[in-house]
Amino acid sequence: MKKLWTNYFSNNYTYREWFFQKLGFAVLIFSLAYVVVFNYVVVPLPESICLFVDCTLLLKYPHWVLLVITGLLILYLNEKWMIATLSALSILVFLLCVIPDSNGHLLWLEVLFTIPVVQLLAYLLYSGNTQELAKSRVQFSVAAIAAIYVLSGTTKLQDSHFTWVTQTQNLPIHVLKASFNMAHSQLKGFTLSNTEWAQTVANWMLAHPKLLMVLTAFALGIELFAFLAVINKRFAWGYGFLLILLHAGVRMAMSIVLPFIVLAMLVYYVNIFYFLWLVAYSVTVGIKNRVATVFNHFAPSRQTNS
């Protein structure tokens, strides 16, 4: 048990950890496929590849799409024909990611497309080097996710002409705007009471401009230096918790959640599925050992009495 936890916090990637990362990614891709094929029926504003390929074919046969996705994910989990499997997954996931964009819904799904692409690159480069492959297929995935955050940070700097941190006086407006949009989108008796929390946050920001500037600079720094997570497994693990704090802050302040990006980060930075398995396994072993100790304690007395 101790060895399992030691490996989790080490810089080495075991196959079991890789399997749980694959499992987490498989859950994400299946969820994406399910959401897309059962929530969209047309592609009114085709973008990217949908300009050249009829993406509505995926929407006409949702059950077949899920069947194909399931088959590819089973091959992926079992490490079968990885180059062909990842190639097919990359194409299919790309099509699925473009459909929401072609409906005017910006869900920031690009990370789910880049992950199988960079993993395919790792298998192409290091198929004959087991040790390097074990490291690269994870590190490439970490880098793909980090690129999303770095791009977000650099975009903020570019759009603000490098004055993002000093423009914190505009943040209360964005907080209220995000809250009003969120409340109005519910279409269930919208009232000002739905935005009370946002008003509280906005008032706090106005009352603490210097602290807000420090927090904004810290959040921007987390995004800009996200590539530090690529250094090694421990850096990825530690940076994962920084990103959790970042997303928690954005969620509390602006009610904005990017579920697929957050979950992808949890899978490859923190390895959340493996962590939960370790916790469950530790509890199970602990209970089993405790029961065995109690049984062994009373076993001699029963034998003596007999």
Residues 6+ apart with CB under 8 A from 273: 20, 21, 23, 24, 27, 267
Mean residue pLDDT of the chain comes to 87
In the block, which residue shows the tokens 């040790």?
131
pTM value is: 0.87
Residue 180 is predicted with a pLDDT of 67
C-alpha span between 266 and 243 (Å, rounded): 9
Query: Per-residue pLDDT averaged across 132-146, rounded?
Result: 94
Contact between 217 and 165 (Cβ < 8 Å)? yes
Contact between 94 and 116 (Cβ < 8 Å)? no
In the block, which residue shows the tokens 């269930």?
188
Helix (H, G, I), strand (E, B) or coil at 106: coil
Residue range 12-49, pLDDT digits in tens? 888 899 999 999 999 999 999 999 999 998 888 888 88
246: left (phi over 0), alpha (psi -120 to 50) or beta: alpha
Residue 295 is predicted with a pLDDT of 81
Residue 306 is predicted with a pLDDT of 47
104: left (phi over 0), alpha (psi -120 to 50) or beta: left
Residue 187 has pLDDT above 50, yes or no: no
C-alpha span between 20 and 273 (Å, rounded): 6
C-alpha span between 10 and 134 (Å, rounded): 14
Residue 192 is predicted with a pLDDT of 52
Domain coordinates of the chain in residue numbers?
2-7+14-285
C-alpha span between 80 and 88 (Å, rounded): 13
Q: To the nearest whole percent, how much of the chain has pLDDT over 70?
A: 92
Residue range 73-128, pLDDT digits in tens? 999 999 999 999 999 999 999 999 999 888 877 777 888 889 999 999 999 999 88
For the chain, the 3-state helix, strand and coil shares in percent, each to the nearest 5, are: 80, 0, 20
- Quickly state the pLDDT bin for 162 (edges 50, 70, 90): confident
Structure tokens at 117: 């692409």
Residue 301 has pLDDT above 60, yes or no: no
- Quickly state the pLDDT bin for 299 (edges 50, 70, 90): low
Residue 134 has pLDDT above 60, yes or no: yes
Residue 248 has pLDDT above 50, yes or no: yes
Residue 72 has pLDDT above 60, yes or no: yes
CB atoms within 10 A of CB 273: 20
Contact between 69 and 31 (Cβ < 8 Å)? no
